[in-house]
Chains A and B, each alone.
Chain A
Amino acid sequence: MSAGILYYALGGGHGHVLRGLAVLSRLGHGTLLGPPALAPWAAALGVAYVSPPAAGAREWFAACPAPALLVVDVFPRGVVAELTPLLGRAPAAWLVARRVREDYYLHPPVRAALESRYERVLWCETPPPALADLAVGATPLPPILLRPRALDRAEARRRLGVAPGEPLILALGSGDPEHQRLLCRLLVKIAGRRGAALRFVSSELEAAPPVVALFPAAAWLDAADVVVTAAGYHAVHETALAGVPTVLVPQARAYDDQRWRAREGVVASDPGALEAAVARLLGGGRRRPVRVGDGAAALARLIERRMELGVLGQEEVAPVA
């Protein structure tokens, strides 16, 4: 493992790893630390990737060479748990944070670790107001997304086996596999009643129709007439960027506030609402794509400058705010 940049993304969900891949693929070096199951994503992008052993992670971190800059993505395991031995030895640590429930960062041991061990928090979503008082440098960034080259709509639909002119419901599965299976089952019925094709993107369910394994899923969004997805970080920001009509089904998460993230979207919280929303959006045309800066590129530049200068002055940070 390189002793340069280490990006810690052992959060359990996909978002941590996707942000790490977005940053390191732009940076062109560094090592991503993530769960073994997502290693193929890193391989597809040519990003160095390591996973600690399932048993003995704390010992593994204790023996891990200290990186010049440790970048930690959101999660408490990386703030106050297994990463603690490495945090004590790394010359500098940054925290990449999306929107989180404020009681997470204000939990006394978490707050103490943030304020004593971290040089900077990089907010890639608006933090709750109560976190403005944290005694640590804060830098707002645009969304940190992979932004893969989008497939042409006709080509993407052809590769998905969707007939020209056939409406396509593209669902992005995430979270608990059983919930994914139930949502897929419901969408099969809805698609049948609406005369639409369904493709359900999942890394967890068996890839048999209508389930498909696509990475990165963002490249395929233009194929869809409507997207159905949880209100996770990437799904919300990527569908907004693509301008594809989207129904959000927020999921319960311990720390992520998907209800907050879905606040400006079309939200469905029961089967009837989902079917009504799908039917409405299938006939509603595209929405205006959101224009936002490239947060991954901005963070990669900040990391480069931090490595060159040894410290970041306000003049380095201000332009990305």
Chain B
Amino acid sequence: MGAGGPTCITCLRDHDDNDADNDAADDGTNDPYFYGGRERAAYYDADDYRAFEPAPDRPPGLETDTGAS
């Protein structure tokens, strides 16, 4: 990681996507990984997105919470 924070693979991918798009155009491959926008979004279904949790709110029930910490 640089000083700017965590390595965001989505951000890193933009540069490679450009290269990959060119490669794909050159060799005629059709790998969805190399395509952005709606094509890539449609590559995953709702359950795939549900595997990623949202950010937590303030912790409730400090004294009695028994869930995983």
Residues of A within 8 A of B (CB): 11-13, 16, 74-77, 80-81, 101, 103-104, 107, 109-110, 175, 179, 182-183, 185-186, 189, 193, 247, 249, 251-256, 259, 262-277, 279-280
Which residue of A12, A179, A267, A279 contacts B8 across the interface (Cβ within 8 Å)?
A: A267
Residues of B within 8 A of A (CB): 1, 5-10, 12-13, 16, 33, 40-41, 43-44, 47-56, 58-60, 62-69
Across the interface, name the chain B residue whose C-beta is closest to A179. B51
Q: Given the known A-B contacts A186-B44, A252-B54, A252-B56, are A273 and B66 also in contact in the complex, defined by CB atoms under 8 Å?
A: no
Closest 5 CB pairs of A and B: A182-B51, A13-B68, A252-B56, A271-B44, A254-B59
Asked if B9 contacts A109 (CB within 8 A), the reply is no
In the bound complex, residues from chain B placing their C-beta under 8 Å from that of A77 are 64-66
Asked if B56 contacts A262 (CB within 8 A), the reply is no
Which residue of A76, A109, A263, A276 contacts B6 across the interface (Cβ within 8 Å)?
A: A263
In the bound complex, residues from chain B placing their C-beta under 8 Å from that of A262 are 6
In the bound complex, residues from chain A placing their C-beta under 8 Å from that of B62 are 76, 80, 104, 107, 109-110
In the bound complex, residues from chain A placing their C-beta under 8 Å from that of B43 are 271-272
Q: Given the known A-B contacts A256-B69, A275-B33, are A267 and B53 also in contact in the complex, defined by CB atoms under 8 Å?
A: no
Asked if A12 contacts B52 (CB within 8 A), the reply is no
- How many pairs, one residue from A and one from B, have CB atoms within 8 Å of each other in the complex? 122
- SS of B interface (majority): loop
Cβ distance B53 to chain A, nearest Cβ, rounded Å: 4
In the bound complex, residues from chain A placing their C-beta under 8 Å from that of B56 are 252-254
Asked if B69 contacts A81 (CB within 8 A), the reply is no
Q: Given the known A-B contacts A103-B58, A179-B51, A263-B1, are A272 and B65 also in contact in the complex, defined by CB atoms under 8 Å?
A: no
Cβ distance B37 to chain A, nearest Cβ, rounded Å: 11
Q: Taking each of A253, A256, A272, A276, which has the highest tally of chain B beta carbons within 10 Å of its own beta carbon?
A: A272
Alpha-carbon separation in the docked complex, A96 to B45 (Å) = 41
Cβ distance B34 to chain A, nearest Cβ, rounded Å: 10
Q: Given the known A-B contacts A182-B51, A183-B51, are A273 and B44 also in contact in the complex, defined by CB atoms under 8 Å?
A: no
Asked if B8 contacts A273 (CB within 8 A), the reply is yes
In the bound complex, residues from chain B placing their C-beta under 8 Å from that of A16 are 69
Alpha-carbon separation in the docked complex, A30 to B12 (Å) = 48
Alpha-carbon separation in the docked complex, A262 to B52 (Å) = 15
Cβ distance A140 to chain B, nearest Cβ, rounded Å: 21
Asked if A104 contacts B59 (CB within 8 A), the reply is yes
Asked if A249 contacts B52 (CB within 8 A), the reply is yes
Asked if A279 contacts B69 (CB within 8 A), the reply is no
In the bound complex, residues from chain B placing their C-beta under 8 Å from that of A101 are 59
Across the interface, name the chain A residue whose C-beta is closest to B2. A264
Asked if A279 contacts B33 (CB within 8 A), the reply is yes
Q: A259-B55, A266-B9, A272-B41 are in contact. List 11 more A-B contacts (CB 8 A).
A: A12-B69, A76-B65, A104-B62, A109-B63, A249-B51, A264-B6, A265-B6, A271-B44, A271-B48, A276-B13, A279-B33
